[in-house]
A and B are shown apart, each in its own frame.
Chain A
């Protein structure tokens, strides 16, 4: 087409059917080809870190769970690990196994959720309805075990809040069998369907070099062939003993290309991996205490006296999540709390993935990193009522100024998230 020669801009978002959460893309488009993209996050920023600095640690735990509904076990696990390191709390073995079980259950439901969303972005609504129907099974088990479909309130500093009762074991095992039977069908529906392959093969490619240099994490990196998984690389809880291995498309017998198809491969295979892990945990889990502090007031009193800093990491369904926390003796609130969500690391992978793709590929490429804006958004600058952009130099100056303030012991006054 003659008019297609000129480049024009297509805004996608902050509110758009392709996006499940607010973010704004501005695409430079030539005909149907994408020539460039500008990503502007920040619409889901709620200042949670700042709120956390005003609350005691137990309250912060609940707050961390509400950073994101789908990652509502990942953030609490990371923050409990951070606080336990900072305060020097030993977690009973059974609690560690229970945390692993819950985080793997979350991975199953999160990946199924993603698969449904991806199918919808491709215009394949039948697959969306089927996957989300199937997802109910794991949500039922989570509700049975924790009382909630999401926001499980399971981890607490020093352990977990609920045990899995002996009569609940068969229900979890039945779920594992159910999904084992279904997994083959799901793999069939997604990976052997010609119309899905036509829309995902060679689309949104992230090469291994790009994934490495942009510090991509989670399935986004693994689909490019990087065997990168926090559970494998820096084992925590009992993941070391369980022997987790990063899943790449090679496990499906394919050389990784880093396209959307590979990302689906990794996520679907990880459902099977999670099933294995849960089963292993159920068998190996020792009896015993589930928390080091059965009484909450005792825990609070202990944490108030604690001093130090700690880092907690966890392989969330979307990749590595890190919480940093600093405690001071005599203060109930944390002095510093920093959350790094997986989407933050994966954000930049969008730029090479969108390059030279078609407009029709925008939704599926955007969805392919399984973005979680509410986890990621850290800042939304509004000056004089209008949003403004801060460039690297300005940000550097501001963060240096803040470090100065922290060094002068003013952190609690000026601390911001």
Chain B
């Protein structure tokens, strides 16, 4: 692929991903509102919010570590959007697929959280410091089950000997469900469920919006952020939501429907891309929107304990089932 072509594709993915993130944010808010018997904001509200934030005054607190405080929103934004470049988009392979794999995506997904925590520590507000501490604890809690789920899928793929197993392109091209035995299917289902539980934690949404916790610490690590910097975090969150949901889809449901519909060529690609986006939306709706409507916010010790003990145990159980499946089926 030529350098120029790569550039164009990258630009398309970044712009498209950002727009998609904001549209999905609008859908999320509207649907959540309907479920709460409210009317809710118009679908374009996230765009209006972003536009408003960009023209508002940006305040850097006197006590903040200025350069760190200013740098972190950019870091979060860049990391979130970079993930999009490493993800395959339905029929289209990842723009930078040759340069990074699932492990890189996992690390990149952790970067916005770290950036927000550092920004919180740097903002010199006790509320932000509490939020930042919570973000770090959260990160340490959910990363392990997340890694178990991803590694489980990848390891089982590698035993089947289909190309570079850690490449997301390979994972998307060879869905595991049909290649494993019944034990493996149960194991995969468990890992998929764990990943769905990790998703709202990764995205800091209720019941895991502990680092921001509006009623407790007034926005936590974001409390001192305003204007442009807040807009950058907002956009990073939108992109990360899409990236995380897309990762779930790629790992566990990378199917297209064009073949079933008997389409070929550009039409097939278009249909499959739309279907892929629909699946991403479905994951977001199940793991983020409905969950945040149906639950109260948990406390940090409850979350840490839950992820370290219960969720990790369940995820490892899924992994063990996959190992057993390998022994039985081969």
Can you give 28 contacting A-B residue pairs, CB < 8 Å?
Answer: A1-B133, A10-B130, A17-B215, A18-B215, A18-B216, A31-B133, A32-B133, A32-B300, A32-B301, A120-B215, A123-B207, A123-B209, A123-B214, A123-B296, A125-B206, A126-B35, A126-B293, A129-B36, A129-B37, A130-B37, A195-B207, A196-B296, A198-B296, A198-B298, A199-B296, A199-B297, A359-B130, A359-B217
Task: Select which of B38, B216, B301 is within 8 A of A129 by beta carbon.
Answer: B38
Decide yes or no: A360 and B213 within 8 Å by CB, A32-B301, A195-B207 being known contacts.
yes
A192 to chain B, nearest CB (A): 13
What per-residue 1/0 map shows which CB atoms of A350-379 lie under 8 Å from chain B?
000000001111110000000000000000
Residue A4 is within 8 A (CB to CB) of chain B in the complex? yes
Would you call A17 and B214 a contact (CB within 8 A)?
A: yes
Task: Select which of B130, B133, B213, B298 is within 8 A of A195 by beta carbon.
Answer: B298
| Dominant SS among interface residues on chain A | helix
What per-residue 1/0 map shows which CB atoms of B199-212 lie under 8 Å from chain A?
00000001101100
- Tally B residues with Cβ within 8 Å of A: 29
Would you call A122 and B296 a contact (CB within 8 A)?
A: yes
Residue A121 is within 8 A (CB to CB) of chain B in the complex? yes
The 8 closest A-B pairs by CB, nearest first: A123-B297, A124-B296, A122-B296, A129-B36, A195-B296, A360-B299, A363-B215, A195-B295
A361 to B213, CA, bound (A): 11
A124 to B36, CA, bound (A): 11
Residue B61 is within 8 A (CB to CB) of chain A in the complex? no
Q: For residue B79, which residues in chain A have a CB less than 8 angstroms away from its CB?
A: none
Residue A119 is within 8 A (CB to CB) of chain B in the complex? yes
User: In the complex, given contacts A122-B297, A360-B299, what are 11 additional A-B residue pairs having Cβ atoms less than 8 angstroms apart?
Assistant: A9-B126, A18-B216, A31-B133, A124-B295, A193-B296, A195-B207, A195-B295, A199-B296, A359-B216, A360-B210, A361-B299
Residue B85 is within 8 A (CB to CB) of chain A in the complex? no
Residue A16 is within 8 A (CB to CB) of chain B in the complex? yes
What per-residue 1/0 map shows which CB atoms of B234-261 lie under 8 Å from chain A?
0000000000000000000000000000
A17 to B212, CA, bound (A): 12
A362 to B130, CA, bound (A): 13
A363 to B296, CA, bound (A): 13
Write the residues of chain A forming the contact surface with B, with a CB cutoff of 8 angstroms: 1, 4, 8-11, 16-18, 29, 31-32, 119-127, 129-130, 133, 193, 195-196, 198-199, 358-363
B172 to chain A, nearest CB (A): 35
B181 to chain A, nearest CB (A): 35
Decide yes or no: A4 and B133 within 8 Å by CB, A18-B215, A119-B296, A363-B216 being known contacts.
yes
Q: For residue A193, which residues in chain B have a CB less than 8 angstroms away from its CB?
A: 296
Q: For residue A16, which residues in chain B have a CB less than 8 angstroms away from its CB?
A: 218
Decide yes or no: A10 and B126 within 8 Å by CB, A124-B295, A198-B298 being known contacts.
yes
Q: For residue B218, which residues in chain A have a CB less than 8 angstroms away from its CB?
A: 16-18
B310 to chain A, nearest CB (A): 13
Residue B302 is within 8 A (CB to CB) of chain A in the complex? yes
Would you call A133 and B296 a contact (CB within 8 A)?
A: no
Residue B294 is within 8 A (CB to CB) of chain A in the complex? yes
B5 to chain A, nearest CB (A): 46
Residue in A124, A130, A196 with the greatest tally of chain B CB atoms within 10 Å: A124
A193 to B38, CA, bound (A): 22
B66 to chain A, nearest CB (A): 22
Chain B residue, CB-CB nearest to A357: B299
Would you call A199 and B127 a contact (CB within 8 A)?
A: no
Chain A residue, CB-CB nearest to B299: A360
A363 to B210, CA, bound (A): 13
Q: For residue A120, which residues in chain B have a CB less than 8 angstroms away from its CB?
A: 215
Would you call B126 and A358 a contact (CB within 8 A)?
A: no
Would you call A360 and B216 a contact (CB within 8 A)?
A: yes
Would you call A126 and B301 a contact (CB within 8 A)?
A: no
Q: For residue B134, which residues in chain A have a CB less than 8 angstroms away from its CB?
A: 32
Residue in A121, A126, A127, A196 with the greatest tally of chain B CB atoms within 10 Å: A126
B220 to chain A, nearest CB (A): 10
Q: For residue B295, which residues in chain A have a CB less than 8 angstroms away from its CB?
A: 124, 195
B133 to chain A, nearest CB (A): 7
A10 to B218, CA, bound (A): 12
B226 to chain A, nearest CB (A): 16
Q: For residue A361, which residues in chain B have a CB less than 8 angstroms away from its CB?
A: 299
Q: For residue B302, which residues in chain A have a CB less than 8 angstroms away from its CB?
A: 198
Q: For residue A129, which residues in chain B have a CB less than 8 angstroms away from its CB?
A: 36-38
A195 to B206, CA, bound (A): 11
Q: Which residues 17-63 of B have a CB within 8 angstroms of A?
A: 35-38
Would you call A199 and B300 a contact (CB within 8 A)?
A: no
Decide yes or no: A121 and B36 within 8 Å by CB, A195-B298, A360-B210 being known contacts.
no
Would you call A360 and B300 a contact (CB within 8 A)?
A: yes
Q: For residue B215, which residues in chain A have a CB less than 8 angstroms away from its CB?
A: 17-18, 120-123, 363
A26 to chain B, nearest CB (A): 11
A22 to chain B, nearest CB (A): 15
